[in-house]
Amino acid sequence: MLKVFQCSDYDWFAATDAEQAADLYLAMTGDDEPGEEYPRELTDAELDKEYPEFDEHEQQTGGTTSLRKMLAEHGDEPGWLAGSEW
- Mean per-residue pLDDT of the chain: 92
* Number of domains forming the structure of the chain: 1
Domain that holds residue 76: 3-83
The confidence score (pLDDT) of residue 34 equals: 77
Average pLDDT, integer, range 6-25: 95
Residue 78 preceded by cis peptide, ω within 30? no
Can you give the pTM of this predicted structure? 0.86
Question: What are the φ/ψ torsions at residue 18 (nearest 5 degrees)?
Answer: -65, -35
Helix, strand or coil, per DSSP, at residue 61: strand
Which residue from 81, 59, 86, 78 is spatially nearest to 68, judged by alpha carbons? 81
> Residue 5 contacts by C-beta under 8 Å, 6 or more apart in sequence?
12, 13, 15, 18, 21, 38, 39, 40, 41, 42
